[in-house]
Structure 1
């Protein structure tokens, strides 16, 4: 049973994103017969496409089953933040659970992920529309400046990232002005890109290398017989010795018993404006192409695009219906005008949403379901680079080029289910209310103490 309104899973519908005006997925037919390959991949997002590319480069016969078109899910409709994160655990909790060495390795591998995206773009001549330098985390209230200072210490001393703390005046000098921006942390790791162009470029690259990519071929049943995996779609059957699950936020509980209840898909929503004029940008002192996110609850993320449009994202609704999406979009448009008062009347040209995945461990997940079944999932809204790296890691694991012990333990936690898994969206609704209340109290209490 779907956790959200069926419309959010309907692969026949376009995302209605701005990105769809800039890129066209390659034409791929549906599976219409029985096929055999060495490795079958479920999902043609960034994890699956990266895994397919690295396997095909080694001469492995690969086929992909995709329920929509390549990049239909989060991989092609996200905000285009090729940045680090990929976990819902705060640094203190990460260190407590895993220790300094494992956490440092985790962040170094995420840094490798950002560099991998750049390397693939160069090697495959992909047009990423790359923008900016690193990422900027903004404190939306003075009560969050101490938290930002703690994160600066973590990234400098544990993650070993180049980074700087900016005062409000330095943020205005380097980035922009907003009544809800009182200081910032700049990480010199990451950049912005066009996610659909990146996804489509990877899809074209795997097709050039002989990968069979079957679009509009949702998995209906998964059977195992005589050492073979049999993946049945409406039009045919794909048989393989090895399978990779790369379905992330669109993973159905019925896909595999070990995956049931392990992921919480969360709706993320984005709006984009018409192109802003130089005078409109100057009104907010906007002078950066670096991706930005804030300490708000719910989190806001935003960036200036190549053509001058402004992209603004946040957590979406908890229903998934078209009416709730529109209601959330109206709220986001109002909040955009509050963060940037000079842009209150700017036209919104596109609005869309999609699913990101949170694991019950609150960390990204790499592992095996059995000796010949692998998975890479749960990037917590920061999957552009991490999913690409995970796909490569899975390919190298299968090829024997990577010992899984070389992957940070943060990635390799055993799967576990959410409590009361069938009702986990209700858990999300409760958590959203709790976080909003905590954010309000924190700002109120610290303001009173000043």
Structure 2
């Protein structure tokens, strides 16, 4: 069994099955047209878009591409990016803005597929759409509400499934009283996708500065000065694409703006066909449940099973061990036929929450920008947001117009941000009681 906590690369299934690119040592330019901090999906797609327009780009990461959420997530390329839901977004921001956000989500999924095609990325794409499972009998009403909202806002037909129909489709978990299949999205290998974007950026001349921690940003003489752990870089424009790994001290405009939350994933050994049949799960469609602290799971192409979920407050060896144990118990409760199946990998990473509970693609002033806060659903939205952040940096009015106005708001600081971990602990306690 493999482990992974911050401070070292997550020893994940993704890392074990993807080939990391080679990185050439860059010859630093006196001033880059653009510097991007954070080499995940957001930073990579922004770098590609900017370099495609002929700009010189420095991509800076405290570790290496895919070290954070882009190499630790569950590989769900699907709708989402917020914590409100489309109905609440419509009530808060209006119908026109909600519809623009719908189009953004659909475009984000399409962009990931297009990136794989355009850059010849073999990302193990599998499954069609995603399935929401009612984890309790009384949450079946939520499926009907979601089905109506899906049709109203997305213009797509979602299919209600009984427990018998779920079994026939090979999606039988112990806590699946009913299901709702939504035909948007797919599963993929997140690190193969990430590394494919790295190679595309390299082909366009992007300079990678790995293992460069940005300690401070300064604005001097019409340019940004980035003081890193390994030297100084200068750029005319800077994009902060650090998501759940944003450091408060990096710049005042981001201090206390992001609440990182831990998400945990286990992956089993390959399952035999008999084992799949005994549980009644052989579908590769990405799935998740109706819990507030949801679990998400999918069968991988090599017949391993991935099971993920939120949980844990602190990043420590003790917390890691405790969460790994509890996560295993929860997995066995959901899939009892696999109680004796070995778990080959377990890792965790940060997702990013924002006070507004929506993603942000915003100008922070003086040619400083940010794109972050995907609320645990960033494969598609981060890819789209990076592209749109590049448009914002280039002052491309037509492309910027596709970004909902509420996403262009600057992130607001959490009240008493030093207590953010306490907020999260209280929320987890409340959610566990409700769930």
Indicate the TM-score class for this superposition, using the shorter chain for normalisation.
over 0.9
1:285 to 273, 280, 291: 280
Work out which of the residue numbers 409, 423, 437 in structure 1 matches 2:419.
423
Q: 1:125 to 1:314 in 2, by over 3 A?
A: same
Equivalent pair of 1:34/1:237 in contact (CA under 8 Å): no
- Range with bigger deviation, 165-174 or 222-231: 165-174
Please name the residue that 2:307 is paired with.
312
SS class of match (1:422): helix
**Which of the numbers 390, 395, 398 marks the counterpart of 1:400?**
395
* Residue pair 2:5, 2:320 contacting (<8 A) in 1 also: no
- Return closer, same or farther for 1:230/1:246 CA change in 2, 3 Å cut-off: same
Instruction: Output aligned runs, 1:69-84, within 5 Å.
Output: 69-84=64-79
Distance 2:161 2:291 in 1: 18
Any conservation in 2 of the 1:357–1:379 contact (CA below 8 Å)?
yes
Q: How many residues align?
A: 431
Q: Is the 8 A contact 1:31 1:217 kept in 2?
A: no
- Shift of residue 9, structure 1, vs aligned partner: 4.0
Find the counterpart in structure 2 of residue 369 from structure 1: 364
Aligned position for 2:293: 298
Q: 2: CA distance between counterparts of 1:190 and 1:225? A: 44
2:42 is equivalent to residue 47 of structure 1: yes
Confirm or deny that 1:342 pairs with 2:337: yes
Return the match for 1:160 from 152, 155, 170: 155
How far does residue 101 in structure 1 lie from its aligned partner after superposition? Answer: 2.0
Paired residues for 1:47-446 under 5 Å: 47-403=42-398, 404-439=400-435
TM superposition shift of 1:175: 3.3
SS of the equivalent of 1:303 reads: strand
Q: Which has the larger displacement, 173-182 or 128-137?
A: 173-182
Shift of 1:256: 1.4
Offset of residue 410 of structure 1:
3.9
For structure 1, list consecutive stretches of 5 or more residues without a partner in the other structure. 1-6, 440-450
Taking only aligned residues, the RMSD between alpha carbons, in angstroms, comes to 1.6
Give per-residue Cα distances to partners, 1:190-237, cap 9 Å, x unaligned.
Answer: 000011111111011101110001111110221111001011112221
* Distance in 2 of aligned mates of 1:214 and 1:160: 43
| Structure 1 Cα separation of the partners of residues 362 and 156 of structure 2 | 27
1:415 to 1:60, Cα distance in 2 relative to 1, 3 A? same
What residue is the counterpart of 1:3 in the other structure? none
What is residue 23 of structure 1 aligned with on the other side? 18
Give how far 1:92 is off.
3.4
Q: Secondary structure at the match of 1:356?
A: strand
Tell me whether 158-167 or 344-353 shows the greater mean CA deviation: 158-167
Shifted more, 170-179 versus 365-374: the winner is 170-179
Q: Which moved more, 1:17-26 or 1:33-42?
A: 33-42
Taking structure 1 as the reference length, what is the TM-score of the superposition?
0.93
Deviation at 1:8, TM superposition (A): 4.6
Residue aligned with 2:409, SS = coil
Note if contact 1:66-1:216 (Cα within 8 Å) is conserved in structure 2: yes
> Aligned-pair distance for 1:286?
1.3
